[in-house]
Structure 1
Amino acid sequence: MANPEPPPAPIEKLRAWWSRRQWLDGTHGGATPAEVLDATGWARSVGGAAPYLGLFARAGLDREAVDGAVAALEVHELPSARGCTYVLPAADFALGLAAGAGAPEGELAAAEKHLGVTRDEIEKLCLAISQLLSRNGPLDPSAIRAGVGGASRSLGEAGRKRGQSTTLPLALGLLQARGLIRRVPPNGRLDQQRYAYAAWDQPVVGSAAELAERYFSWAAPASVKHFRWFSGFTAATAKAALAPLDLTPLPGTDLLLPSELVAEFQEFTVPTTPHHTLLAGIDGIHLLHRDLPRLLDPADAARPSPTAKGGRGFGTEADPQSHVVLDRGRIVGIWEYDTEREEIVHLPFVPVDDALREAVDRTGRFIREQLGDARGFSLDSPKSRAPKIAALRAAAAARPNG
């Protein structure tokens, strides 16, 4: 008789494993920004504090260290997976750009179809921008527009309705994807979306299989669905990308794990001591899979979310509507930063002990002294965040031990 298949791994073990692989166990202090991103994955950046919060939580990195790595091109914000911006280590610049190369081509195709744009005019604009930046960069978009003169043109009302007021963004997107220009934050910070552009000469090289290998080194165990979300690949492309990899299915699940990690995973046990970290809602512990319920206990998944419209349950959201507190891979609370009072407003899902208080205080000091705010994204502001903060305060006060 064949041996029975072993039972599925408990969700607590999976969460704790993901947390450890994401360096959220407090054992990697002193690592560089590039080392963190190489080991745990590219950090999603949308003009908010997520990269800073993630690097601080994983390696205790302060803003000066992160900004220094950006200035030295040890890490950089680039359009990559799905055409979205991530902060990548230098070793992945070529692969990241290759992963995102299709997005600006798609935007150009849409402009050709709907706005009367031609590839020839955009290629001529690309050449004009490249020559300008080689002579005079870095330059902000206004200076580039003035410098290229008639090579850039308005797309009129039709363009404005489609979010393309001129041809300039089309050319900038293509040049970035080709590694010929890069965005430079004028103040050196990642938590804003004002940029100048500089000439660059970065190769764009990488295959779907290489991206799959990198992904499973960061996110495994993960499913094909998880990988397709991250990569934006079709089912056929994802299947081809995974074919060369040596992946082992976890019994009773649709999750795959690199075979070289199977023995380590089997021997892994959940730490008995809590370890709390405060992260952005788009941190890789969530966004590499974008499968929020796996990080929530069932009772917490059913909780009404005070920061979501309509009082939806946490488990019904695609993404957290606020920043999150984790303990060994489980979301145990949500939080926002109140700039007026210069403090974190925290709604815990678990009893608050000294370790959790210390984690909240430590992150609050980091934000107050080094960042000034913890925006979720570029358009997030203290004013727009005020209703969330009020809702969190009210929900926290209503707790039995509030």
Structure 2
Amino acid sequence: MTENLRAWWWHRQGLDGSLAGLDPATVLARTGWARSGGGVNPYLTLFARTGVSRAAVDDEVARLAIHELPSARGCTYVVPASDYGLALQVGRGAPEADVVKVGKLGVPRKEIDDLCAAVLAAVAAGPLDPAALKGALGDAVRNLGDAGRKQGVTTTLPVALGLLQASGDLRRVPVAGRLDQQRFTYTRWDHPESGLTDEQARMELARRYFAWTGGATPAQLRWFTGFSARDAKAAMAELELVELDGAVPGILALPEDAKAYAEFARPARRSYALVAGLDAVLLLRRDLAGLIDPADLDRTVPGTSRALGRHTDLPDHAILDRGRLIGLWQYDVDTERIVWWTFDAAAARDRALRSEVDRTEAYIRDQVGDARYVSLDSPKSRAPRIAALRAVGR
């Protein structure tokens, strides 16, 4: 992977400051939907690119300029309003897997459909949280007992909620308006439609994906979208993709981006960002090795016995310099400090990196309170990772 290509991806992701001053919806439209899951990533995605406050992001959520939706592969992303219809459409089939799962436990599809109708009737008068919903629905919700617990689904209610959210008939509203927690109420929603056929929707998602990344491989597109090989090939055929000249063979881009890349030069001056482990610059292609210099691939990750280049996903959040991975970090709630490690000796001495660490630390401490990777993360669960980084870093 060339330094220029890494810096190009960095630039396309707006981590070079080129998106400063833009509103959250515009940033997400340009750089990609922000993976959520109850962690800090949606907030850090926007802060790292624009410096926007958490309160301003929450205001955008409250007025539905951005919202967390089930989308590609059934995963939840924070999406701009302009993409609501598309995001729902490309993820609509994912909850059917849970219908099949409970079907094997003896629950007929009609029972699930009836439960969906009952849920919509229950929230007609106003939002309800899961406990209130369960009370209102009574025997319409079936307890699946030990057999269900073994399959990861204890009642039929989550199956119905998943179907209704994927269809856009039901919207979950974060309690206290926060994107970094997993407590919700549910309300009716007259969701926007994309106006596209499924084939057109796949093409539009592919177009956005290649624009977000500035170049990727067909396999990377398939990982992000969950498309079959046939559907991915058909979607790409409509885009007239070309290879990036001078880059790694097999990386395709939209024609206008290929032209822009040919004129792009990696900045000589170092530029740092602390991003979440689920940031789009890492997650869209899920090619961690592509962000690592060859000399760093065999470095052992602190607290593990595995080399950096052997990780598919990072165990910690990331420190980047012009697209190159140069270190890891965690937030220690007890000390209200970022604990970080860089394996780049020049960066370790650079006041600009220390300044970026301090800036991000102040944002987490004063506005967010914690930097969970996902909702199940906790200060206790990540204590070993913090200790490992502290032993070798700062």
TM-score past 0.5 threshold:
yes
| Partner residue, 2:19 | 28
Count, aligned residues? 384
2:78 matches 1:87: yes
Which among 282, 287, 307 is matched to residue 283 of structure 2?
A: 287
2:356 matches 1:359: yes
| Partner residue, 1:202 | 191
| Partner residue, 1:7 | none
The CA deviation at 1:220 is: 2.5
Measured in 2, the distance between the counterparts of 1:222 and 1:27 equals 21
Measured in 2, the distance between the counterparts of 1:142 and 1:221 equals 45
Which among 294, 300, 309 is matched to residue 296 of structure 2?
A: 300
The CA deviation at 1:97 is: 0.7
Which among 180, 183, 186 is matched to residue 191 of structure 1?
A: 180
Contact 1:138 1:196 in 2 (8 A): yes
Paired residues for 1:162-201 under 5 Å: 162-201=151-190
Letter in 1 for 2:311: E
The CA deviation at 1:187 is: 0.9
Contact 1:334 1:347 in 2 (8 A): yes
| Partner residue, 2:220 | 226
Measured in 2, the distance between the counterparts of 1:19 and 1:272 equals 14
Paired residues for 1:323-362 under 5 Å: 323-350=317-344, 351=346, 352=348, 353-362=350-359
Contact 2:174 2:185 in 1 (8 A): yes
Question: What's the secondary structure of 2:17's corresponding residue?
Answer: coil
Measured in 1, the distance between the counterparts of 2:378 and 2:165 equals 28
Query: Unaligned 5+ residue runs, structure 2?
Result: none
The CA deviation at 1:240 is: 1.1
The CA deviation at 1:299 is: 2.2
The CA deviation at 1:16 is: 0.5
Contact 1:367 1:373 in 2 (8 A): yes
Contact 2:22 2:50 in 1 (8 A): yes
Moved over 3 A (4+): 203-206
Contact 1:80 1:96 in 2 (8 A): yes
Letter in 2 for 1:282: L
Higher mean C-alpha displacement, 246-255 vs 228-237: 246-255
Letter in 2 for 1:71: A
Contact 1:41 1:284 in 2 (8 A): yes
Question: What's the secondary structure of 2:383's corresponding residue?
Answer: helix
What is the CA deviation profile of residues 202-250 of structure 1, one whole-angstrom value per residue up to 9, with x for unaligned ones? 1443521111111111013100001000001111111111111121023
Which among 36, 46, 53 is matched to residue 62 of structure 1?
A: 53
| Partner residue, 2:236 | 242
Query: Unaligned 5+ residue runs, structure 1?
Result: 1-9, 398-402
Identity of aligned residues (%): 53
| Partner residue, 1:52 | 43
Contact 1:178 1:204 in 2 (8 A): no
Measured in 1, the distance between the counterparts of 2:31 and 2:100 equals 34
Measured in 2, the distance between the counterparts of 1:49 and 1:300 equals 27
Question: What's the secondary structure of 1:182's corresponding residue?
Answer: strand
Letter in 2 for 1:388: R
Question: What's the secondary structure of 1:334's corresponding residue?
Answer: strand
Measured in 2, the distance between the counterparts of 1:27 and 1:209 equals 27
Letter in 1 for 2:114: K
Letter in 1 for 2:140: A
The CA deviation at 1:176 is: 0.2
What is the CA deviation profile of residues 131-171 of structure 1, one whole-angstrom value per residue up to 9, with x for unaligned ones? 11111x21110100111111111111111110111100010
Letter in 1 for 2:169: L
| Partner residue, 2:258 | 262
Letter in 1 for 2:106: G
Paired residues for 1:302-317 under 5 Å: 302-308=298-304, 311-317=305-311
2:386 matches 1:389: yes
Letter in 1 for 2:80: P
The CA deviation at 1:21 is: 0.5
Which among 99, 107, 110 is matched to residue 90 of structure 2?
A: 99
Contact 1:18 1:329 in 2 (8 A): yes
2:118 matches 1:128: yes
| Partner residue, 1:158 | 147
The CA deviation at 1:27 is: 2.5
Output the TM-score relative to the length of structure 1. Answer: 0.94
Output the TM-score relative to the length of structure 2. Answer: 0.95
Question: What's the secondary structure of 2:69's corresponding residue?
Answer: strand
Measured in 1, the distance between the counterparts of 2:17 and 2:354 equals 16
Measured in 2, the distance between the counterparts of 1:263 and 1:45 equals 33
The CA deviation at 1:287 is: 0.3
Letter in 2 for 1:38: A
RMSD across aligned positions (CA): 1.1
Contact 1:307 1:321 in 2 (8 A): no
Letter in 2 for 1:62: S
Letter in 2 for 1:285: V
